[in-house]
Amino acid sequence: MWPNFKDGEIFDYLPIDDIGIESLIGSVVVVNHPYKENVKMVKRVRFIENGKLFLEGDNPDPNASQDSHNFGLVKPDLLIGVIRQQR
């Protein structure tokens, strides 16, 4: 999520159970990778379509990370939490 988060940066997040899915648009979330087991990602929710999320990294280089441009829309059950505070 560079430039907004640096490698090793610590942040807090709220469990998704506490947040309505529609309210996540524009939020930064922690999510399980849809195809790589045990890989967690930090991405921004850009929009919701048919109950699924379009996730995008903030890095201006489109080849720098994987997001919904690569793997498509993501089911909400892959969400872990929404970032609430940077330290």
Q: Would you say residue 1 lies in a domain? A: no
Residue type, 50: N
* 86 or 45, higher pLDDT: 45
- Confidence check: pLDDT of 28 > 90: yes
Residue type, 83: I
Cβ-contact 77, 66 below 8 angstroms: no
Total domain count, the chain: 1
**Entry pTM:** 0.85
Cβ-contact 74, 31 below 8 angstroms: yes
Q: 47: pLDDT confidence band, cut at 50, 70 and 90?
A: very high
Q: Would you say residue 67 lies in a domain? A: yes
Question: Residue 85: what pLDDT?
Answer: 59
Most confident of 1-5, 61-65, 82-86: 61-65
Question: Which residue segment(s) compose the domain that 17 sits in?
Answer: 11-86
Q: How far is CA 53 from CA 6, 16, 57, 67, 86, in A?
A: 24, 13, 13, 11, 23
Residue 18's domain is classified under what CATH number? 2.10.109.10
